[in-house]
Amino acid sequence: MPSDATVPQPAPGPADLVITDVTSLVHGPDGAIDFRPGSTIVVRDGVIDFVGPVEGTPVPAAQVIDGRGQVAMPGLINCHTHSPMVLFRGAAENVSTVDWFNTRIWPMEVNLIPDDVEVGARLACAEMIAAGVTTFADHYFEMDRVARAVDETGLRANLGWTYFSSQGRAGFDTSLEFALSHRDAAGGRITTSLAPHGAYTVDDDDLRTTAAAALQHDLLVHIHAAESRAETRASRARRGMTPIAVLEHTGLLDARVLIAHAKGVVQEDLPLLARARGRVGVGSAPKGYLKQGEETTPIRSLLSAGVAVGLATDGAASNNTLDVWESMLVTALVQRVEEGDELWMTARDVLGLATLGSAAAVGLAGRIGSLAPGHQADIVLVDLSGPHTQPVHDLAATLVYSARSADISTTVVAGRVLMQDRRLLTVDVPAVVADLGPRLARLTDTSHGTSIQSYNAY
């Protein structure tokens, strides 16, 4: 019997997984980040059962991981990506945003066959597991093949099949059919979205149809909107309203919505977003914005309107990695310049975005994003023994500004260990890379002169 009956202790009986002697990142009742050294984390049935110091006898478990010298964090959440685009990593460099779409990416995407998408998704899953990403929100084509890679590699994902109005009704139908047939797949690790491409490529009728279906089926809508200030200016000029106003006008802000980028959000959008608080989230992927010489997401304004803000990488064709840890660092750095305020966006603030903020943005608040009992056991261990992470005067700063994804030793999703001691246990990377090689020349050939779409957001 514990010496002090007021200290909660884990339930008796064997656990599936126990992580011992670790410093745990936990959240206070107000969401504030705190660190609890000397913790034990007990996992049963894929769910966190207990986090804290254990007195007396250690908890017996099928699998025990020694967490000494490591920090346990909620697994990272990639709130917006196009995972199979790792196929095009580095294949569209040194071009303007317009050329990136019109001369490189959209012509190359004509070449994709479903098998390519699956191989790309598998490589992306490997990269994300290695980088400590445990959940990703994906927006692409042939999503049944992405679902297969998610199932097989053990990750958690929210998957949405992209559509344009140029496809006619078939685009929406495919997206809805996929969302309904795959929700709760992979033992519940897969959730789904409706995935209209953007407010400038999907017309109002299709957006209205999307909103109605989202409400009818309780589906998240994952969409690019207000991608840039230029898009907002163009939308105002063309139709007299901002892209966020288009979302409201078509009923999408009455549904649950995940907005990618939102860099073009302006003052007049904030009341619209505030009315949708609790339903609307944003995924911000700042590395790619800087790479294109562009502005960044106005996170402070969004938070003040009650919008859930999470971190993302976008696809690797623009971001070059799927490394959400890197997004944490870049977010911290660029937000201070954005606001001209050297005290805004502390390391703890960024860790808040990476955990509770991102979980809410992808519609999974209360299920992921926190090492709290009842949450899914999506956990990463960060090894702080490297010379670049010593000494530790301020653990939040060490994590955000000194550590990097390569310091993650262990990745756990739903209680299953997907990487241990930096060895990937569910993907054979050399085999995937070998499978990829012969596809590359065909994939990057743009001599056909066609494109899946024409970019004219501006």
Binding range to a second copy, per CB under 8 A, among 34-42, 139-147, 257-265, 322-330: 322-330
- Among 321, 420, 446, 453, indicate the residue that binds a second copy (CB under 8 A): 321
Per-residue mark of binding to a second copy, 105-134 (x: CB under 8 A): ------------------xx-xx--xx---
46-75: which residues touch a second copy (CB under 8 A)?
none
DSSP secondary structure string for all residues of 142-163: -HHHHHHHHHHHT-EEEEEEEE
For residue 340, state whether it binds a second copy (rule: CB under 8 A).
yes
* Residue written as token pair 């692409």: 140
* Sequence letter at residue 134: T
- With beta carbons less than 8 A apart as the criterion, state whether 437 and 119 touch: no
Binding range to a second copy, per CB under 8 A, among 150-158, 189-197, 243-251, 283-291: 283-291
Binding range to a second copy, per CB under 8 A, among 47-55, 135-143, 263-271, 327-335: 327-335
Q: Which two tokens stand for residue 347?
A: 């390391």
- Among 28, 29, 293, 449, indicate the residue that binds a second copy (CB under 8 A): 293
Q: Closest distance between a second copy and the C-beta of residue 193, in Å?
A: 25
Binding range to a second copy, per CB under 8 A, among 12-20, 167-175, 219-227, 321-329: 321-329
For residue 333, state whether it binds a second copy (rule: CB under 8 A).
yes
For residue 97, state whether it binds a second copy (rule: CB under 8 A).
yes
* Residue written as token pair 């960060």: 382
347-366: which residues touch a second copy (CB under 8 A)?
347
Compare residues 18 and 432 and give the one whose CB is closer to a second copy: 432
429-448: which residues touch a second copy (CB under 8 A)?
429-430, 432-433, 436-437, 440, 444
Strands 15-27 and 70-74: parallel
For residue 320, state whether it binds a second copy (rule: CB under 8 A).
yes
Under DSSP, the state recorded for 420 is E
For residue 425, state whether it binds a second copy (rule: CB under 8 A).
no
Pick from 245, 302, 298: nearest CA to 274? 302
Binding range to a second copy, per CB under 8 A, among 139-147, 225-233, 249-257, 317-325: 317-325
Compare residues 238 and 393 and give the one whose CB is closer to a second copy: 393
Pick from 360, 358, 342: nearest CA to 350? 358
Q: Closest distance between a second copy and the C-beta of residue 417, in Å?
A: 18
Q: Closest distance between a second copy and the C-beta of residue 328, in Å?
A: 13
Q: Which two tokens stand for residue 292?
A: 């294109």
Q: Closest distance between a second copy and the C-beta of residue 8, in Å?
A: 31
List of residues 6+ apart from 144 with CB closer than 8 A:
114, 178, 182
- The pair phi, psi for residue 189, each rounded to 5°, is -75, -20
- Among 382, 427, 452, 457, indicate the residue that binds a second copy (CB under 8 A): 427
- Among 402, 420, 446, 453, indicate the residue that binds a second copy (CB under 8 A): 402
For residue 230, state whether it binds a second copy (rule: CB under 8 A).
no
For residue 404, state whether it binds a second copy (rule: CB under 8 A).
yes
Q: Closest distance between a second copy and the C-beta of residue 118, in Å?
A: 15
76-95: which residues touch a second copy (CB under 8 A)?
86-91, 93-95
- The pair phi, psi for residue 118, each rounded to 5°, is -65, -45
- The pair phi, psi for residue 389, each rounded to 5°, is -115, 20
Strands 416-420 and 408-413: antiparallel
- With beta carbons less than 8 A apart as the criterion, state whether 51 and 73 touch: no
Per-residue mark of binding to a second copy, 131-160 (x: CB under 8 A): x-----------------------------
Q: Closest distance between a second copy and the C-beta of residue 339, in Å?
A: 7
Q: Which residues pair with 195 in a beta bridge?
A: 162
Q: Which two tokens stand for residue 303?
A: 């938070």
Q: Which residues pair with 136 in a beta bridge?
A: 78, 157
- The pair phi, psi for residue 416, each rounded to 5°, is -100, 130
Q: Closest distance between a second copy and the C-beta of residue 250, in Å?
A: 31
Compare residues 220 and 443 and give the one whose CB is closer to a second copy: 443
Q: Which two tokens stand for residue 38?
A: 């000397």
List of residues 6+ apart from 340 with CB closer than 8 A:
none
The angle, 0 to 180 degrees and rounded to 10, between the axes of the packed helices 429-436 and 114-130 is: 150
- The pair phi, psi for residue 332, each rounded to 5°, is -55, -45
Q: Closest distance between a second copy and the C-beta of residue 387, in Å?
A: 4
Burial of 60 (0-12, 13-18, 19+ CB in 10 A): exposed
From residue 99, how far is each of 16, 159, 379 by CA, in Å? 51, 27, 39
Name the 3-class secondary structure at 15: strand
For residue 37, state whether it binds a second copy (rule: CB under 8 A).
no
Binding residues for a second copy (CB under 8 A): 86-91, 93-97, 123-124, 126-127, 130-131, 287, 290-294, 316, 320-323, 330, 332-334, 336-337, 339-344, 346-347, 385-388, 390-394, 397-398, 401-402, 404, 406-407, 427, 429-430, 432-433, 436-437, 440, 444
